[in-house]
Chain A
Amino acid sequence: MIITKKKDFQELMENIKNYQKFFLVGCSECASLCGTGSEEAIKELAEALRSEGKEVTGGFVPKTGCQVLGTKKELKAFKDALAETDCILVMSCGAGTQTAVELFPDKPVYPTNDSLFLGNMTRFQMFDERCSLCGQCILDRTGGICPVTTCPKGLLNGPCGGMQDGHCEVSPDIPCAWVRIYERMKRLDKLEEFRESVLEAKDWSQAQKPRSLSTREKKEKK
């Protein structure tokens, strides 16, 4: 999921100081699991805004904030509250915010969160980055552990000289990705593969921004 973190409230207030009436948009997916875009988060922010003398004309949690047409449909029920507002606050990720930008060409839209990374939830509201969407998956070559993401240098062919007792030179809190890969492949009796495999330089053209994908044609052929 996309991991988000609330912006500092004072920073948010500074960003929106020229507006008075707000409509809040959360998201029932990632931002709800992160606690940044849930019903509860909307209530909390609405209260905080009111205590600062602002008005809240309404708010809701779309099912999937990055789904443009679905969100547009859901928003129809809030026509009046939206007509009254002079600023939309989006409490999900940068994708959700830009859904709102597309749907409200005449209204200012501000994010209340910072979007951080694609993460795995390890415990309640604890998240780790394990995939960086590089566009060219190498997990089939690395025992299923991604060094592009979990090694701060993104090394592709083994640990660097900064590894100390299985930890990273960048921080002792980071386990060395390549020691983890080594240990896993050893456990799976794949050390020979670990030894023989030399990964080529990555093709970063696969990660050239902005990326887009359409699988429509295939479906229509069916």
Chain B
Amino acid sequence: MSFREALESGKFVVTAEVGPPKGTDIEEMIHHIELLKGKVDAVNFTDNQSAVMRMNSLAGCKIALEHGVEPILQMTCRDRNRIGLQSDLLGAYALGVRNVLCMTGDHVSAGDHKGAKPVYDLESVQLLRVVDALNNGKDMEGNDLKGSTDFFQGAVVTPEANPLEPQLIKFEKKVKAGARFFQTQAIYDIEKFKEFMKHARKFPVKILAGLVVLKSAGMAKFLNNFVPGIVVPEELIEELKAAGKEKALDTGLSICARHIKQLKEEAICDGVHIMAIGMEDKVPEILERAGLL
């Protein structure tokens, strides 16, 4: 069953994330792809995440397909203009990619090429409309395509944004622009997430809760202080502290598994998106602890 079919069938889906390497050595990426094979419904391939230059997302997607894993192509608007984005979308479809995640993209100032010219010729809402046009056999100027795409297109949302209302309005704009599924920024407060889901449930879209594994109390504090839209509640930080340095990671994995279990059992959302960030090999263990394997 494809990722799209799984979501549409009402199955609680699991996606994970792999960042292509900085360089041409794809051994570790293939290792992570093999590790996730059969355990998740699809794997996101990041697009020069945090504006750090790496191998492109499309190559990662193609390699995943060759290894029998369904990819989700992450596409940001930072590095390509409207011609480049559309052209890459057509190429991705021809290579077998069926899922695309449309995002604006971190600003170049966050990355390792700070003097780069940021493009943002389009932004996430407009990119979603472009995908919708390509799916309907037209480019964004209305010119006919010889063979259309049939992408399952998604977007991102930050349920803990402050202030929240402009973010929720943008979420609605993304829905109207054709987003079919959303992967959220990392969430840690399930009760607050339920509030967001109450709003999201008014729209005909599937929501995958974003989860980032906490490795330590220090990491939790870092996320709170430096990563926009992520709020780790104090009680989780206390739980990590109480576990002590040696058991902190184990506790972080348990917290992640516990959240997945609750999200699924209470049918709060339609699935989870696990961003392991360097701990891709722990994803199967998290899923086991959550009772999903």
Using CB atoms and an 8 Å cutoff, list the residues of chain A in contact with chain B.
152-166, 169-171, 178-179, 182, 194-195, 198, 200-202, 204
Contacts and interface: CB of A to CB of B under 8 A. Distances in A.
Interface string B79-107: 00010000000000000000000011011
Contacts of B23: none
B284 interface: no
A169 B163 contact: no
Nearest to B169: A195
Contacts of A178: 166
B173 interface: yes
Nearest to A200: B126
11 contacts: A152-B118, A153-B123, A154-B120, A158-B170, A160-B123, A161-B158, A161-B167, A161-B228, A163-B167, A171-B109, A200-B126
A179 B82 contact: no
Interface string B158-193: 100111011101101100110000000100000000
B161 A159 contact: yes
B121 interface: yes
A201 B163 contact: no
Given A152-B118, A157-B170, A158-B169, 14 more contacts: A153-B78, A153-B104, A155-B120, A157-B123, A157-B125, A158-B125, A159-B167, A161-B157, A163-B166, A166-B163, A170-B107, A198-B125, A200-B126, A201-B82
A160 B126 contact: no
| Leading 4 A-B pairs by shortest Cβ distance | A158-B170, A164-B228, A157-B125, A182-B166
Interface size class of B (residues with CB under 8 A): 35 or more
Given A159-B166, A201-B121, A169 B156 contact: no
Contacts of B169: 158, 182, 194-195
B161 to A, nearest CB: 6
A12 to B, nearest CB: 24
Nearest to A180: B166
B6 interface: no
A179 B118 contact: no
B116 interface: no
B166 A158 contact: yes
Given A153-B118, A166-B163, A159 B170 contact: yes
B140 interface: yes
A192 B27 CA distance: 51
Contact of B176 (A162, A179, A198): A198
B166 A161 contact: no
Contact of A152 (B82, B109, B163, B185): B109
Contacts of A153: 78, 104, 107, 118, 120, 123
Given A157-B123, A198-B173, A164 B107 contact: no
A12 B130 CA distance: 49
B121 A198 contact: no
B279 interface: no
Contacts of B122: 201
